[in-house]
């Protein structure tokens, strides 16, 4: 029989108990009045943490410190603890709650039987397997469509060049006196016709100077042609 002293941080008085327990599990059964869940149990002399029920207790008198464990888990849901920041610091209830959440939401089918160390080991194995899985490569983005080449503006067809240097040659000026006279007569006839038509349309009389018959004009033209065909020395020019 030896004395076991329990020191709780939540109260000043010490809890003393005479025990024959050899393991931590047997001690918890003897001291049911102590709230063990959520507590970190440390043996004072060895500084060892008691977690497993089969942990062997010191043979002589010893003192146990019970310190509330800080919750390292993340957000809690109705289905259990969603995330554990530190698996090594989590207690039995937190480990079991987290495994329950994984089974419910991730379909992990983790075995929740056994003590604290069993649960901790299974969780570590699970996360180790998750890290070893190759990362899923993102699907490659579809290649951007190449822009259609811009259509070249239609180049207007160049007109064929006329003449030797690309310009239309002007009609050569007549040098033959007969051609000159005929060209002048044609222009005069057009002017006379326009004057006569204007005079008739306005009700005026036609000037006597313009009242020539076609035969008379033809006679005058022939006379001029005949004189121009003479030699230059014999020709007579009238201003």
- CATH code, domain carrying 7: 3.10.20.90
Please give the span between the terminal C-alpha atoms of the chain, in angstroms, as a whole number: 169
Measure the CA–CA gap between 87 and 25, rounded to whole angstroms: 22
How far is residue 75 from each of residues 78, 79, 85, 119, measured CA to CA in Å? 10, 11, 11, 20
Quick one: pLDDT at residue 144?
64
Domain ends where: 45, 68, 91? 68
| Domain match, 64 and 80 both | no
Measure the CA–CA gap between 61 and 84, rounded to whole angstroms: 36
Indicate the number of domains in the chain.
Answer: 3
Kindly indicate the confidence band of residue 231, based on its pLDDT and cuts at 50, 70 and 90: low
How far is residue 205 from each of residues 7, 191, 200, 209, measured CA to CA in Å? 151, 17, 7, 12
Find the mean pLDDT for residues 96-119: 88
In this structure, how many other beta carbons lie within 10 angstroms of the beta carbon of residue 196? Answer: 14
Domain that holds residue 13: 2-68
For 16-26, the pLDDT digits (tens) are: 999 999 999 99
For 133-157, the pLDDT digits (tens) are: 776 665 666 666 666 666 666 666 6
Contact 44, 65 (CB under 8 A): yes
Domain ends where: 50, 68, 86? 68
The pTM for the full model equals 0.32
Quick one: pLDDT at residue 5?
92
């Amino acid at each position: 029989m030896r004395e076991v002293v329990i020191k709780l941080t939540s109260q000043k008085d010490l809890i003393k108990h005479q025990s024959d327990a050899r393991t931590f599990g047997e001690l918890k059964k003897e001291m049911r009045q102590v709230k063990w869940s959520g507590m970190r149990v440390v043996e004072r002399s060895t500084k060892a943490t008691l977690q497993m029920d089969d942990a062997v207790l010191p043979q002589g008198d010893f003192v146990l410190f019970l310190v509330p464990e800080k919750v390292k888990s993340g957000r809690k849901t109705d289905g259990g603890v969603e995330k554990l920041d530190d698996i090594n610091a989590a207690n039995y209830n937190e480990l079991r709650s987290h495994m329950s959440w994984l089974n419910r939401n991730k379909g992990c089918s983790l075995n929740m039987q056994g003590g604290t160390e069993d649960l901790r080991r299974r969780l570590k194995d699970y996360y180790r397997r998750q890290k070893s899985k190759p990362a899923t490569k993102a699907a490659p983005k579809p290649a951007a469509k190449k822009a259609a080449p811009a259509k070249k503006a239609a180049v207007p067809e160049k007109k064929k060049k006329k003449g030797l240097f690309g310009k239309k040659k002007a009609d050569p000026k007549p040098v033959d006196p007969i051609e000159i006279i005929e060209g002048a007569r044609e222009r005069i006839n057009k002017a006379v016709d326009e004057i006569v038509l204007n005079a008739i349309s306005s009700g005026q009389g036609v000037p006597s100077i313009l009242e020539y018959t076609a035969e008379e004009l033809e006679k005058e033209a022939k006379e001029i042609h005949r004189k121009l065909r003479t030699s230059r020395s014999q020709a007579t020019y009238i201003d």
